[in-house]
Amino acid sequence: MDLGIEKSARKGLVLFTQYEAGSAIKKAIAGGREDVLFELRESRLKGRGGAGFPTSTKWMITAAATAEKKYIVCNADEGEPGTFKDRVLLMEYPEAVFDGMVIAGYTIGAQYGIVYLRGEYEYMFAMLKEYLEGMRAKNLLGQNILGKEGFNFDIEIRLGSGAYVCGEETALIESLEGQRGEPRNRPPYPVNTGYMGFPTVVNNVETLAAVPHILLKTGEWFRKHGTDKSTGSKLFSVSGDCERPGVYELPWGISVRELLDVVGARDTKAVQVGGASGVCIPKSQFMRKLSYEDAGTGGSVMVFNETRSMLNVMHNFMDFFVEESCGQCTPCRIGNERLLEGVHKLISGDFTFAYIRNLKELGATMQVASKCGLGQSSPNAFLSILENFSDEIYQSNGSGVTHA
Amino acid sequence: MLKQTESRAPVSQKSHKIDKPVDPNSIGATITIELNEKKIAVPLGTTILEACKANQVRVPTLCHHEDLCIAGVCRVCVVEVEGMKSLQAACAFPITSQIKIKTSTENVRKARRHIIDLLLSEHHGECYTCVRNRNCELRALASEYGVDGFTFGHREKKMHEIDKSSYSVLRDMDKCILCRRCVRTCIDLQEVGVLEAIDRGGKTHIGTFMGKPLSEVICINCGQCINRCPTGALFTNDPSDDIWRAIDDPTKHVVIQTAPSPRAAIGEEFGMPAGTSMTGELNTALRRIGFDKVFDTDFSADLTIMEEGTELLLRLKAALVDKDPNVKLPQFTSCSPGWVKFIEHFYPESLDYLSTAKSPQQMFGALMKTYYAQEYNLDPKDIVTVAVMPCSAKKFECNRPEMVDSGYKDVDYGLTTRELAKMIKEAGIFLPEMPKSEFNDPFGEASGAGLIFGATGGVMEAALRTAYELITGREVPFENLRIEACRGFEGIKQASVKLEGCVPAWSFLEGVDLKFVVAHGTANARTVMELFKQGELNDVHFVEIMGCPGGCIGGGGQPIPTSPEIRKKRAEAIYAEDESMTIRKSHENPHVKLIYEKFLTDGPCGHKSHELLHTKYVKRGSFIV
Amino acid sequence: MLVYEKNNLMEEIQQLGKKHGINRNALIPILQDIQAKYHGISDFAQQEIGRMLSIHPVEVYSVVSFYSFLNSNIEGRNVVRLCKTVSCDLAGKCDIVKAIERELGIKFGETTKDKRISLEYTNCLGMCDQGPAMIVNERVYGKLTPEAAVTIINEIK
């Protein structure tokens, strides 16, 4: 299958470096749980799915919980528009991802690992299953892993069925339990009450893939990359108007401008950082840094050149959320419909500024009153495009929009 | 004691129930928080909503209902918790740390207004004509929270056909606000499983299996969803226009029977506190409306006790004396049409265990168009029988094709408490102002036993009062005839009465420990049936099951709202009325005695009563065609 | 549905129960297998699955209706899902749509009369660097041109 860039051509600081399967597991077992947690804490690794919760805290809470069973779930429900880094990791670096899961299992005392693979990636299913079989043969999975008495851990792959919201960790758990993928009320958090009511760590593919590297090369080494609050490197999935779209591993803190140079983007008007749930950055802000402190992202970077209609982009994103909201809570279910209606009115020119002001306020409410991260971030694109490209948006007044 | 089996309701409908701390007196069981800058102590695990309620802070709610598990979906109850980026749903947030809560900040007020605005933007329906226009929770919130216009538009066109397929429950999805109370009622509280959220995103709606009409899926017509719907999306199939027409027709003789539960609750529709009994006032009101006769369903409840009790004794005799291996024990009660349809669908193989006695409503109807017609020289075809019931399933019951034993439709209309209140208002009557009056003869006198049918455990208590006395010749050995083991709102109750010193006719029962089980709400009924299937009820003799939580007083036709507190008050009204009666045992009801002398001459469970007062059931099964 | 078809399906559902387990966790995997084989989950299948797992039929239907890849009506033997998210849109999704619709004579959201192909839009496929992209059944195709897309469509049996 054509995957764009060859693996051998990939260059990076952490994830896109050599890793020998099983080596970090060996080190983890030799050093003990405390060491793993120590290195992780030192690394200041934060969740790569976008929310940026400290991974070590998540693991520590679950490790401290006493329960009959614990679970480690790898969130491979990569559905954020413009994100495809997990595809690359799973296809090309499964050893790092799965070893990360085994180490997590060892550290928190979980016996079961589940990979929730999005339905769209079903084509990887057989390959990944085969890889897991190989791990079992090498005793990297199964009973008494690598001779460690009592360390039993196995991984199962479960397929999603086409629902963006299942990337939200509690929705993912609901889906695993055979339910509609509707996010739960939190608290309680999955680290206490997760899959089947047991303590569960849900980590992004990229987070887990970083763990073996951190363990082998120390947390201190990892921390040297990136910025103070955003340590290490990040995989950026770059798409849109540029010469070299693809996945790039770059240190956190790189500016939008620098990234655009790397991927060969010219005449760029705007960059959508963080996918549909992210924000749209105009040219004037290209010095902004990609980091948790400034423009945080799960990795999606979409580049739009001068010829593109931002209203069209907005339209596409709002369509997306109306479809992909789980439909459970009022602000997200109806709020997104009203915002989409607003986009239609912007397109037709049939709007008043008072009405647009109301929609902006509604967006602010959705950001704080929605039940989960999806709803809370769903108005971001609408609000930021409206704010940063107001001239363009209001000028299209009545004239309709040209196709992007 | 019976082991409670795991409820069949899905985890997602229950997982957000919050466990209360084990012991409120243990160290660390309370926690000090700040609520609107006031320090208060609350038990650990209390929700913010509960903490607010206990401290006189009103937080609006929509998806929250006391009877149901937590959903946290409407978001109208959001509050600010210091240190958290987003607002938190008060109903779903358990307090486990020393948080600071603010319930009326700018953000909170804006968010609430927006949410109500959003709900209104998708809510089609004119308040003027809505059945819920006096007690619609959405409407109340809109006016309380300053929503005075349609900021985000309003749906002008009707999007959905009203589903009028059911005899009992109608659905107008244009008024649905997706709070999912009906879903939690149907799946979790009642474990029937008709309604669920369908599709996702903007298309999400509450629907039935494959979008079929309600009459084609396994709805038991209990109407509990109606009682918990905050808007007018769910309502009963109202026959009042037909009834008015009958009243206005001089050739029709329109009689009405009133069940005890509506009488204990209808006052709520006129602003009276829950638990105000209105029996005497209601009699007057009904006459003023134009009903020709006003009868008491309690009379046929007494009759039910005679029939059902006799049936039980016959089954016991078959088991103990004749050693009949095929005798069906325990015997299950059959007065609740919701429960009857439930067992027909989910446990059709066990239908033989159900008493064949009709419900009081249907016994009444059958006698009305036979015995009453004969006694009063009326042509049964000119008699219109109306039954005032706390129940939506009674509408389905009176329309069952087999309920025509009189040669006519035994009961023409089942009317709910709410619908009757509406008729009374339409007639220009304010119920609490009415002078009291008595029921009409010959069905006007009843015993307290017939009356307590309204509360869960009532049938059992009434049956015991009669059976014990018939068997032993003595009154039941409880102070003031209160059989406490039958009372109260525990989901499943179990007890026994030892039969000693039996009269000769029933000497075979000497020393028998008469065991009985009482359950209410079909979720508990399901538990009982699962235990029954496992053989755990083999030594039980009699099982009372009512389809609705709390029994008839919590029926699907009762005034809205409902809550454990309200149901308790209604039950208290019924028990108090029972104690005020002179006759408190069914077999002592003089009219019951008379009817067995004059009409049902071969006695309870005799040939004639079998013809008129007993019925057959349908093995419906649970496959949806 | 004929009786023997029903019996086969029931047998198959029982087998799937053995494979995935008789509990609610197994619901989605079972539905996925039925969907893959029959291109949809009939109301009969939904009820049988519900009965096996002790779930109300409406809950099964609720789950089926929630997920884009599960369907309660029977779709075409092959499902073509074209990504409509921004990156693929920028890369020329509209031209692909026109070409495919013209070739098959049906619109997206429809199924060919011979039930060979159903056309659907889908949200991001994670092929944004190689848009426009689509998946046919479970195979993914990127960097589509109108011509290439039509060739792929025509090769589907």
Is position B422 annotated as part of the catalytic site? Answer: no
Residue A2 scores a pLDDT above 60: no
Quick: pLDDT tens for B280-329. Answer: 999 999 999 999 999 999 999 999 999 999 999 999 999 999 999 999 99
Q: Chain B residues with CB inside 8 Å of C66's CB?
A: 199-200
When scoring A6, A120, A247 by the number of chain C Cβ atoms within 10 A, the one with the most, hence best to mutate, is A120
Which of helix, strand or coil describes residue A313? helix
**Cβ contact B200–A185 (<8 Å):** no
Fold of B304-357+446-613: Fe-only Hydrogenase (Larger Subunit); Chain L, domain 3 (3.40.950)
DSSP letters, B254-298, are EEEEE-HHHHHHGGGGGTPPTT---HHHHHHHHHHHT-SEEEEHH
Question: Is residue A260 included in any domain, yes or no?
Answer: yes
Question: How far is B598 from B591, CA to CA, in rounded Å?
Answer: 10
Residue A54 scores a pLDDT above 50: yes
Residue with tokens 């299913």, as numbered in its chain: A125
Is position B215 annotated as part of the catalytic site? Answer: no
Is position B461 annotated as part of the catalytic site? Answer: no
Fold of B11-115: Ubiquitin-like (UB roll) (3.10.20)
Question: How far is B336 from B548, CA to CA, in rounded Å?
Answer: 9
Residue A402 scores a pLDDT above 50: no
Give yes or no: residues A184 and A91 share one domain. yes
Is position B530 annotated as part of the catalytic site? Answer: no
Question: How far is A15 from A6, CA to CA, in rounded Å?
Answer: 15
Of C66, C94, C110, the last residue of a domain is: C66
Number of helices (H), then strands (E), belonging to chain A: the values are: 16, 9
**Active-site position among B308, B344, B419, B544:** B308
Amino acid B139: pLDDT: 94
Give yes or no: residues C60 and C129 share one domain. no
Tell me which residue of B274, B228, B546 sits closest to B394, measured CA to CA: B546
Of A171, A202, A224, the last residue of a domain is: A224
Give yes or no: residues C92 and C136 share one domain. yes
Shortest distance between the Cα of A375 and any Cα of chain C, in A, equals 17
Give yes or no: residues A247 and A294 share one domain. yes
C43 touches chain B (CB under 8 A): yes
Give the number of domains in chain A: 3
CATH number of the domain that C111 lies in? 3.40.30.10
How many beta-carbon pairs below 8 A join chains B and C?
A: 48
Amino acid A395: pLDDT: 77
Q: Kind of pairing, strands A200-204 and B38-43?
A: unpaired
Give yes or no: residues A379 and A291 share one domain. no
**Active-site position among B335, B502, B548, B605:** B335
Q: Supply the range of the domain harboring residue C120.
A: 78-155
Q: Note whether B12 and B183 are within 8 A (CB).
A: no
Give yes or no: residues A45 and A13 share one domain. yes
Give yes or no: residues A137 and A246 share one domain. no
Question: Is residue A401 included in any domain, yes or no?
Answer: no
Instruction: Provide Rg for chain A, Cα atoms.
Output: 21
Quick: pLDDT tens for A137-191. Answer: 999 999 999 999 999 999 999 999 999 999 999 999 999 999 999 999 988 899 9
Beta-bridge partners for B354: B332
CA atoms within 13 A on the CB side of B189: 27
B72 touches chain A (CB under 8 A): yes
Give yes or no: residues A72 and A129 share one domain. yes
Quick: pLDDT tens for A78-136. Answer: 999 999 999 999 999 999 999 999 999 999 999 999 999 999 999 999 999 999 999 99
Give yes or no: residues C62 and C117 share one domain. no
Look up the ipTM and state it.
Answer: 0.95
Amino acid A5: pLDDT: 64
**Cβ contact A187–B201 (<8 Å):** no
Tell me which residue of A110, A115, A116, A117 sits closest to A200, measured CA to CA: A110
CATH number of the domain that A176 lies in? 3.40.50.11540
Is position B355 annotated as part of the catalytic site? Answer: yes
Q: Is B561 exposed, middle or buried (0-12, 13-18, 19+ CB in 10 A)?
A: middle
List the single residue in B15, B93, B118 with the smallest CB-CB distance to A330.
Answer: B118
Residue B8 scores a pLDDT above 50: no
**Cβ contact B178–A333 (<8 Å):** yes
Residue with tokens 């649970």, as numbered in its chain: B622
Is position B402 annotated as part of the catalytic site? Answer: yes
Q: Chain C residues with CB inside 8 Å of B200's CB?
A: 65-66
Of A256, A287, A305, the last residue of a domain is: A305
Residue B601 scores a pLDDT above 60: yes
pLDDT band at B12 (very low <50, low <70, confident <90, very high): very low
Give yes or no: residues C62 and C90 share one domain. no
Q: Note whether A239 and A301 are within 8 A (CB).
A: yes
Which sign does the torsion angle of CA B594, B597, B598, B601 carry? positive
Question: How far is B416 from B555, CA to CA, in rounded Å?
Answer: 9
* A4-13, A94-103, A188-197, B349-358: segment of lowest average pLDDT: A4-13
| Closest residue in chain B to residue C64, using alpha carbons only | B199
CA distances from B255 to B372, B401, B412 (A): 11, 21, 10
C58 touches chain B (CB under 8 A): yes
Question: Is residue C71 included in any domain, yes or no?
Answer: no
Q: What are the residues whose beta carbons fall under 8 Å from the beta carbon of B426, sequence distance 6 or more? A: B240
Give the number of domains in chain C: 2
DSSP letters, A321-384, are HHHHS-S-SHHHHHHHHHHHHHHHHHHHT---HHHHHHHHHHHHHHHHHSSSHHHHHTTHHHHH
**Cβ contact B198–C62 (<8 Å):** yes
Give yes or no: residues C49 and C10 share one domain. yes
B11 touches chain C (CB under 8 A): yes
Give yes or no: residues A197 and A81 share one domain. yes
Q: Supply the range of the domain harboring residue A389.
A: 310-395
Give yes or no: residues A52 and A178 share one domain. yes
Amino acid B26: pLDDT: 62
Question: Is residue C72 included in any domain, yes or no?
Answer: no
Q: Chain A residues with CB inside 8 Å of B115's CB?
A: 330-331, 365, 369
Amino acid B6: pLDDT: 47
Question: Is residue C44 included in any domain, yes or no?
Answer: yes
Question: How far is A180 from A79, CA to CA, in rounded Å?
Answer: 17
Question: Is residue A403 included in any domain, yes or no?
Answer: no
The pTM of the full predicted model, rounded to 2 decimals, is 0.95
Amino acid B23: pLDDT: 57
Give yes or no: residues A201 and A301 share one domain. no
Residue with tokens 């409120």, as numbered in its chain: B24
pLDDT, average across residues A350-373: 95
Amino acid A394: pLDDT: 85
**Cβ contact B202–A336 (<8 Å):** yes
Give yes or no: residues A197 and A277 share one domain. no
Beta-bridge partners for A273: A279, A301
Average pLDDT over chain B, rounded to an integer? 92
CATH number of the domain that A352 lies in? 1.20.1440.230
pLDDT band at A11 (very low <50, low <70, confident <90, very high): confident
Amino acid B434: pLDDT: 97
Residue B15 scores a pLDDT above 50: no
Is position B311 annotated as part of the catalytic site? Answer: yes
CB burial of B565-602 (b: ≥16 within 10 Å; e: otherwise) equals ebbbbbbbbbbebbeebebbbbbbbebbeebbeebbee
Q: Chain C residues with CB inside 8 Å of B209's CB?
A: 43, 46-47, 57-58, 61
pLDDT band at B54 (very low <50, low <70, confident <90, very high): very high
Give yes or no: residues A29 and A172 share one domain. yes
Question: Is residue A402 included in any domain, yes or no?
Answer: no
Of C46, C66, C86, the last residue of a domain is: C66
